Structure 1
Amino acid sequence: MSDPTPVFDDLREESEQLDLLVAELPEERWTLATPAPRWTLAHQIAHLHWTDRAALLAVTDEDGFGEILRTALASPGSFVDEAADEGARLRPAALLARWREGRAALDRALRGAPDGSRFPWFGPPMSAASMATGRLMETWAHGQDVADALGVVRTPTDRLRHVVHIGVRARDFAFAARGLPVPAEEFRVEVTAPSGRTWAYGPPDAAQRVTGPALDLCLLVTQRAHRADLALCAEGPDADRWLDVAQAFAGPPGPGRPPRHTAPGRHPDEGVTP
């Protein structure tokens, strides 16, 4: 079993970078609208806090997590918004303190988990490393919403490899979630990391391929940008379709983001999930 410490460290660093964006904001800025419909900056942080708490219970209190899971199953269309609404009603200083305390507790729990442990989640059970990878993906994605709302351009880092990994692993789920046939063959995915390295997945001789910047693939699979605004290239019909439906998150397909610009030859609505 490989050492999971690097992903724990990356999750902590990703959270700290988002913390820096919001820590010194005046209270009134926490009500700033983000690209997610109806969600303010406070909703974004409240959601991360709530999900960190759910992950902590999954690792330390299976019965406690079971209560959260039952609530989610009872109201699958509203529990995420309701939890975010509740947290967003807190004073920003209190919300920030709870988020910090919660993510620190989760960090300790993940690092202390016995080797080989698997924990319940909203999908299949997860290892400590997979749990941390999922939390990093969500922290990065919601951090992008915060950055967009504040007009901040974040410098990408090679922590994005975790988001790319989840996005590629979730290919078949993305097709199935939309009732589409899962491609029979593997794709070759080659993306350029912020450091200039190449991250590659799938057979080198695969007939269908996706290439481009790692940042753009991360924006796509977290549905933070429309493919028309990204420098991703697909070879093959299934690979091209994947760029229309890709998602790195569990649950039903999201609406995605409308295109800011229309790439040559593409209709503005092409690729938007119905």
Structure 2
Amino acid sequence: MSDPTPVIDDLREEGEELDALVARLRPEQWAFATPAPGWTIAHQIAHLAWTDRSALLAVTDEDGFRTLVEKALAAPRGFVDEGAEEGAVLPPADLLAGWRRGRTALDEALRAAPPGARFPWYGPPMATASMATARLMETWAHGLDVADALGVTRPPTGRLRHVARLGVRTRDFAFAARGRTPPTEEFRVELTGPGGAEAWAYGPEDAAQRVTGPALDFCLLVTQRAHRADLALHAAGPDADRWLDIAQAFAGPPGDGRAPKGAAG
């Protein structure tokens, strides 16, 4: 993406939509449990605030971010939870205000980044558009957890195009994160956009292996917000089929994912 402005704009809109959902919560609602085990709504917003600060460091202070990575490597499983715990104990008004400040600072830093800039991250270095896309993906995914806790539905929007594209681009990472050799051939991914009016396609048209289905379902899968068994996704080819079992669009260790809706308990 030559001009990162559109995805930065969409990131801002995604954050504002989630902000509108939590801004009106009563203090006790911040303690509602979300689908992520042990995480309340406060944990979800605290995590977003923490990762926004991490992204801001990556964009503006490479040495400071390197120190953060060293801490993460020392405790790869608990590092993210610790960041969420620290923010979740704050009064809701303070947590919300801090998240807003961080979003604004990151928005400004991404827009001010020079053309061609690349920033360190917990995975491979990221260009400005990729960094904004990753933040949008996380904001959307954690926003779903918040909405689930409140019993509300957030309708899918065209902003999911960024999440879907990231999910396709992270295919090889998903295999490598589990110690598996990524497939050598490209897949064709054909998705139906929200509302059914658009078709989003990635990869060669003549690819032997492919994935098809609704874009929303694909985005739920790659963010591990739903189990494959509950989604209308179809794979043609053995490697494409294996990918749908392990897909993840986020950096870091493989997640545990979500249990099928029909699972006991």
SS at match of 2:77: coil
1:114 corresponds to: 114
1:207-239 deviation digits (Å, cap 9, x = unpaired): 111100000000000000001111111111111
Post-superposition offset of 1:73? 1.4
Q: Which runs of 5+ in 1 are unaligned?
A: 262-267, 270-274
For 2:256 and 2:121, the matched residues in 1 are separated by 23
Deviations 1:170-219 (A, max 9, x none): 11111121122321211110001115211101111111111000000000
Q: Which residue of 2 aligns with 1:86?
A: 86
Task: Quote the Cα distance in structure 2 between the aligned partners of 1:234 and 1:66.
Answer: 39
Q: Structure 1 vs Structure 2: percent identity of aligned residues? A: 74
Report the Cα distance in structure 1 between the residues aligned to 2:118 and 2:180, rounded to whole angstroms.
30
Give the secondary-structure state (helix, strand or coil) at the position aligned to 2:189: strand
Q: Deviations over 1:61-92 (max 9, x none)?
A: 12221221121112112111111000001000
2:234 corresponds to:
233
Tell me, yes or no, if structure 1 residue 38 matches structure 2 residue 38.
Answer: yes
Aligned length: 263
- Aligned AA (1:112): A
Moved over 4 A (4+): none
Please state how far the C-alpha of 1:45 moved relative to its aligned partner.
0.3
Pairwise CA RMSD: 1.3
- For the pair 1:246 / 2:247, whether they are aligned, the reply is yes
Rounded to whole Å, the distance in 2 between the matches of 1:119 and 1:184 is: 27
CA shift for structure 1 position 113? 0.7
TM-score, normalised to structure 2, is 0.96
1:41: how far off?
A: 0.3
Separation in structure 2 between the aligned mates of residue 194 and residue 232 of structure 1, nearest angstrom? 15
Partner of 1:7: 7
Q: Match for 1:256: what amino acid?
A: G
Most deviating of 180-189 and 244-253: 180-189
Correspondence for 2:67: 67
- Provide the C-alpha distance between the structure 2 equivalents of 1:128 and 1:20, rounded to a whole number of angstroms: 26
SS of the residue 1:105 aligns to: helix
Distance (whole Å) between structure 2 residues aligned to residue 6 and residue 193 of structure 1: 18
Match of 1:264 in 2: none
Cα deviations across residues 137-181 of structure 1 (Å, max 9, x unaligned)? 011111111111111111100100111111101111111211223
Q: Could you say what secondary structure the match of 1:183 adopts?
A: coil
Alignment partner, residue 215 of structure 2: 214
- Aligned with 2:164: secondary structure? helix
CA distance in 2, matches of 1:160, 1:77: 28
Structure 1 residue 223 corresponds to structure 2 residue 224: yes
> Aligned to 2:194, what secondary structure does the other structure show?
coil
CA distance in 1, matches of 2:118, 2:187: 29
In 1: Cα distance, 2:236 partner to 2:34 partner: 34
Q: Distance in 2 between matches of 1:245 and 1:96?
A: 33
The residue number in structure 2 matching 1:257 is 258
| Residue pairs, 1:102-141, within 5 angstroms | 102-141=102-141
Please state if 1:174 is matched with 2:140. Answer: no
Q: Shift of the alpha carbon at 1:116?
A: 1.1
**Which stretch has the larger CA shift, 248-257 or 87-96?**
248-257
| Distance of 2:139 and 2:165 partners within structure 1 | 15
Instruction: For structure 2, list consecutive stretches of 5 or more residues without a partner in the other structure.
Output: none
Which structure ranks higher in relative contact order (CA pairs < 8 Å, sequence separation ≥ 6)? 2
**What residue in structure 2 maps to residue 156 of structure 1?**
156
Question: Following TM superposition, by how much is the alpha carbon of 1:25 offset from its aligned partner in structure 2, in angstroms?
Answer: 0.3
User: What is the alpha-carbon distance in structure 2 between the residues aligned to residue 197 and residue 135 of structure 1?
Assistant: 24
Task: Give TM-score scaled by structure 1 length.
Answer: 0.93
Q: Which moved more, 1:5-14 or 1:182-191?
A: 182-191
Q: Residue 21 of structure 1 aligns with which residue? A: 21
